[in-house]
Amino acid sequence: MRKNSLNSAVRIRSLAKINLDLRVLDKRPDGYHNLRTIFQTVSLADYIEISHTPARRLTVNLTSDIPGNLIEKAAHLLDIPGHFDIRLTKRIPMGGGLGGGSSNAAAILLAIPPLTGRRIPLDKLTGLAAQLGSDVPFFLLGGTALGVERGTELYPLPDLKPFPAIIIAPGIHVSTSDAYNALDRLTGAHRRMANDERPGNDFEAVVFPQHPQLKLMKGKLLKQGAVLALMSGSGSTVFGVFENRLKRDSGLVSLRKDLGNVKIFPVSFVGRGAYRSLWWRQLRASRDWKAWPPQNRYAQ
């Protein structure tokens, strides 16, 4: 059997994340900010189809309805020769704080090595991921994780239940670097107290005054019975977490009626165990080895 004949094409679900808590700490000499955040993967996903043809040089042909995607950059950073035909079908709203672009980049880092019969250790992939963006390394881990420093130093946390949630994507684009700059200008009294133990998102203090409808949406999620409702990342997406599906689904019906043509997605939390199983399954990788990152059984 030819070495790569099993896995020359794959179809991948590239999941979104939300931030269950997000604190922006001090500005660093390199211009980034130190953070303390809890990342959580959720079931909302983009679809990426990759097919590989052996070749001496690396070429990427990306078919996508959106430009400037990190996918091509990730493939070039990996620098594994071959021709890669990649088709991206976007469902995760862009610039919404859901890490869609970061997830796509991480998906390429996870998928291409087994697809081409290569084996690249996790710490090398993590280094490449951090070069692509602050949220990319998290998607090499999945589940629930604490992120500190730039958000790239990660500590896995135990899986939570697959809580049902609602994501509201109002389609407002918030620039991440503008949100950080606005937060830098915010004086003490308006910042969340360092000793506030409740989950929160520091960016709400600068994004909500600019886009009051987001605060209203958060209020509506709480009114529908969400046990936690927050903006994700630097916005503009807001999400609500529910105790059970019944409450989530009745909230969904009311919010869809109330908010008209705003995009609203029912999702659930995806733990690390489920995240890895999804990857092993979709790469038809050596699931029996339970290797992470996923490996092709013929890998060198």
Geometric angle at alpha carbon 278, from 273 and 279, rounded to 5°: 100
Q: Burial level of 148, CB count in 10 A (0-12/13-18/19+)?
A: middle
Active-site residue, selected from the candidate residues 46, 135, 218, 220: 135
Question: Cβ closer to ligand C5P: 236 or 282?
Answer: 236
Position among 59, 61, 63, 177 found at the interface with ligand C5P (CB under 6 A) = 177
257 as an active site residue: the answer is no
* Shortest Å, Cβ 179 to ligand C5P: 8
Position among 3, 4, 6, 32 found at the interface with ligand C5P (CB under 6 A) = 32
Residue 141 CA to residue 70 CA, distance in Å, equals: 18
What are φ and ψ of residue 15, in 5° steps?
-80, 160
Position among 20, 35, 221, 238 found at the interface with ligand C5P (CB under 6 A) = 35
Active-site residue, selected from the candidate residues 17, 73, 218, 220: 17
Asked if residue 17 binds ligand C5P (CB under 6 A), the reply is: no
What is the 3 state secondary structure string of 212-257? HHHHHHHHHHHHCCCCEEEECCCCCCEEEECCCHHHHHHHHHHHHH
Tell which positions 139-158 bind ligand C5P, by CB under 6 A.
150-151
User: Which residue is listed with tokens 């950080």?
Assistant: 180
135 as an active site residue: the answer is yes
Asked if residue 215 binds ligand C5P (CB under 6 A), the reply is: no
* Shortest Å, Cβ 102 to ligand C5P: 7
Number of residues that bind ligand C5P (CB under 6 A): 11
Largest Cα separation within the chain, whole Å, is 67
Asked if residue 176 binds ligand C5P (CB under 6 A), the reply is: yes
Tell which positions 264-283 bind ligand C5P, by CB under 6 A.
none
102, 136 contact by CB (below 8 A): yes
* Shortest Å, Cβ 130 to ligand C5P: 8
Question: Cβ closer to ligand C5P: 27 or 83?
Answer: 27
Whether the bond between 293 and the residue before it is cis, its omega within 30 degrees of 0, is: yes
What's the helix, strand, coil split of the chain in %, to 5? 35, 30, 35
Question: Cβ closer to ligand C5P: 151 or 271?
Answer: 151
Geometric angle at alpha carbon 177, from 269 and 208, rounded to 5°: 65
Question: Cβ closer to ligand C5P: 154 or 262?
Answer: 154
Position among 39, 138, 180, 203 found at the interface with ligand C5P (CB under 6 A) = 180
* Shortest Å, Cβ 183 to ligand C5P: 9
Q: Which residues touch 194 (CB under 8 Å, ≥6 apart)?
A: none
Asked if residue 203 binds ligand C5P (CB under 6 A), the reply is: no
Q: Which residues touch 204 (CB under 8 Å, ≥6 apart)?
A: 214, 215, 218, 230, 231, 235
Contact map string, positions 106 to 135, toward ligand C5P, x by CB under 6 A = ---------------------------xxx
Sign of the CA dihedral with 117 first, then 122, 126, and 127 last: negative
Q: Beta 9-27 vs 238-241: how paired, if at all? A: unpaired
Residue numbers at the binding site for ligand C5P (CB under 6 A): 32-33, 35, 133-135, 150-151, 176-177, 180
Q: Which residues form the catalytic set?
A: 17, 135
